[in-house]
Amino acid sequence: MKYFVMFWVLLCGCDEFQMTAYEMIDKPGQANGKYRVLQGDYFEDVRILNTDATRLRGTVRILNGAYLRIDSGSVIYGEWETKGKLIIGHDSFCIGSGTMENPIRFTTDQVKNPHVGDWEGIVLNGLTRLENVVIEYAKVGVTVNHKSVRIHNGFFRRNGKECGGIKETVWRR
């Protein structure tokens, strides 16, 4: 009987469950299957795995020749409270290859009630190649400030402004 009650409580209580624990990542890419928080400046390579729930807390900058590698099917949440923002520095790189079935997705952490402009968006100042990516609910979906940015099959929706920076015809394929 107590197993039935526990199952019923779990079943009924799932709607109210919220994940509050998080792990700060000092050495990114070493916490498989964890709730990850990226914040501040990164001078070493960072890898976002599709098994991790990754949040951008405040302004996250990839600098000094570091690579940001994003696995296919990864979901990156921009925090509403801290206005999450991802910046790829002038001398840094961002590489992400999603698939049509498992795109890379940048979205808000307000899953139950998302709004346009919940997080700041992505600023690409360095060499970037993204394939099959969805960017949604940002203030500005993507700002491109480098001619070597290539976004193939990019889908921008429900953003305050879809794109900024260099003309879209230069970088969008």
Q: Give the tens place of pLDDT for each residue, 37-83.
A: 999 999 999 999 998 889 999 999 999 999 999 999 999 999 999 99
Give me the residue spans of the domains in the chain. Answer: 21-171
Handedness of CA 85, 101, 144, 129 (dihedral sign): positive
Q: Give the tens place of pLDDT for each residue, 124-135.
A: 999 999 999 999
